[in-house]
Amino acid sequence: LYEQLMQAGVEVLYDDREATPGVKFADADLIGVPLRVTVSTRSLERGGVELKRRDSAETAIVPMEDAVRRVQEEITRLYREVGERKWGAIIGL
């Protein structure tokens, strides 16, 4: 998945440290990673990888074969939302 995302032009931070998932998730939030993709035994048992946006408490299990497309869609959605927020601030909405 890492290689597929990189080939698709997605900037990936691959956290392979010997730390607990909670520590890794907290660090990702601290540095502002907008989208988290978690590949774990539990997510694979549930049918794929776990996708979570930093600005949401919701998670989604995405089949591995759809993961690159869904990550790209979420990134596009995030860029669009940030652009809309920025524009709204400029025009005073």
For residue 77, the tally of other CB atoms under 10 A from its CB is 12
Mean of the per-residue pLDDT values of the chain: 90
CA of residue 52 relative to chain centroid, distance: 5
Higher pLDDT, 67 or 86: 67
Amino acid identity at 66: D
Non-local CB neighbours of 54 within 8 Å, separated by 6+ positions: 28, 29, 32, 33, 34, 35, 36
Per-residue pLDDT tens for 12-69?
Answer: 999 999 999 999 999 999 999 999 999 999 999 999 999 999 999 999 999 999 999 9
Cα gap 74→77, rounded to integer Å: 5
The neighbouring-strand residues paired with 37 are 51
Contact 50, 60 (CB under 8 A): yes
User: Distance (Å, rounded) from C-alpha 78 to C-alpha 64?
Assistant: 21
Say what the pTM is.
0.82
